[in-house]
Amino acid sequence: MGKNLNRRCFMGKSLAVSSGLLAGLGYEHQALLGQLVNRDEYGKKKEPVKGLQKGKFGELEVSRLIIGGNLISGSAHSGGLLYQSALMTRYFTHEKIMETWALAEENGINTTLMRCDPHIIKNYSIYRKEKGGKLHWIAQSAPEQGDPVENAKMARDNGAYAIYYHGGKCDSKIRGGKVDEVGEIVEGMKKTGIFAGIGGHRLETIKACEEAGLNPDYYMYTVNKVGYLSSEPDDIESFMKTVKKTWIGFKVLGAGRDKPKESFVHAFERGADFLAVGMFDWQVRDDVAMVQEMLANGVERQRPWIA
């Protein structure tokens, strides 16, 4: 009896301490410690989020929150950690990819944004054809696949609705004074019949494309408040409110360096029309709930919704 009481007291004190710790920890640490403290409770399935808002993207109605694909491709922008890519690809087995996409759909996300390569094509084809999944696919051109226009054809032929020219490659061409080449690539992509955009991590990239009169269907451009592969927030807001093309914001969390809620608000307030966010399965529902609630309550933005 005494042992049981002592054990009970110990557990009660441990849980109380854990609750206190949770209050002082960041979002990701809270999630991790929450699982360790009470695995059964934390793992219970929650009711799916309803009513995630959508916007017009070409001929599609696309969810304002798009699930990104860097994590399932092993690209986590983890600051040089050598094990990170292997860790991501081992976590995101075929089964886990299927589960994560199904969770996204269940909670109102209807679009994924992923590179166009054999790994993605294989999994996306199985998800659509064998699992009955309905996620739309916006593709990123994959540099190792060669000619980006041929990569656009590959994306189109394997079910993608849209593609954009890789942001890092586009940044490099703009720095090298080759804005005309960017325009030729995007026009070549458009001629394949796919919705085609331009990616970038630098405001100078978007400015150069606009000043040169390029005509992408949309921009894929970074926006965050921690300065990770992103320009000054005020500069972004000031210029992007003059841009009339649809804008998908990415690197919104600074590749996991910022908290979701504040990051999502920041990106929408700066003018992004959609957010592409990489998510683990256990983050999907919470991220959707945050976006759905903040959009329902309204966000203050100078840039009108383009989509």
Looking up tokens 């054990």 gives 7
Dihedral sign, Cα of residue 149, residue 150, residue 152, residue 156? positive
112 CB-contact burial (10 Å; exposed 0-12 / middle 13-18 / buried 19+):
buried
Q: Could you report the per-residue pLDDT of 185-208, keeping only the tens digit for each?
A: 999 999 999 999 999 999 999 999
Nearest Cα residue to 64 out of 283, 296, 273, 294: 273
Question: 218 forms bridges with which residues in the sheet?
Answer: 197, 246
Cα 21 to Cα 30: distance, rounded to the nearest angstrom: 8
Nearest Cα residue to 225 out of 272, 263, 199, 269: 263
Residue 23 carries which side chain, given as an amino acid letter?
A
Helices then strands, each counted (H, E), the chain: 13, 10
Residue 187 carries which side chain, given as an amino acid letter?
E
Please, what is the Cα angle at 226 between 171 and 205, to 5 degrees? 15
Q: Could you report the per-residue pLDDT of 126-173, keeping only the tens digit for each?
A: 999 999 999 999 999 999 999 999 999 999 999 999 999 999 999 999
CB 60, CB 136: distance < 8 Å: yes
Instruction: Report CA Rg, the chain.
Output: 21
* Start-to-end CA span in the chain (Å): 66
Cα 110 to Cα 156: distance, rounded to the nearest angstrom: 18
Q: Mention every residue, 6+ apart, whose C-beta is less than 8 A from residue 40.
A: none
Cα 199 to Cα 141: distance, rounded to the nearest angstrom: 10
Q: Is 177 left (phi over 0), alpha (psi -120 to 50) or beta?
A: left
Q: Mention every residue, 6+ apart, whose C-beta is less than 8 A from residue 256.
A: 28, 76, 77, 78
CATH of domain 46-297: 3.20.20.70
Backbone dihedral angles phi then psi of residue 157, each to the nearest 5 degrees? -70, -15
Domain map (residue ranges) of the chain: 1-44, 46-297
Specify the DSSP element, H or E, that contains 218: strand 218-222
pLDDT tens, residue order, the chain (307 aa): 444 444 444 334 444 444 444 445 555 555 555 555 555 555 567 899 999 999 999 999 999 999 999 889 876 655 666 667 788 788 899 999 999 999 999 999 999 999 999 999 999 999 999 999 999 999 999 999 999 999 999 999 999 999 999 999 999 999 999 999 999 999 999 999 999 999 999 999 999 999 999 999 999 999 988 755 566 778 999 999 999 999 999 989 875 566 889 999 999 999 999 999 999 999 999 999 999 999 999 999 999 999 8
pLDDT of residue 121: 98
Specify the DSSP element, H or E, that contains 300: none
- Could you tell me the pTM of the whole model? 0.85
- Where helices occur in 130-202 by DSSP H, the ranges are 148-157, 167-175, 179-191
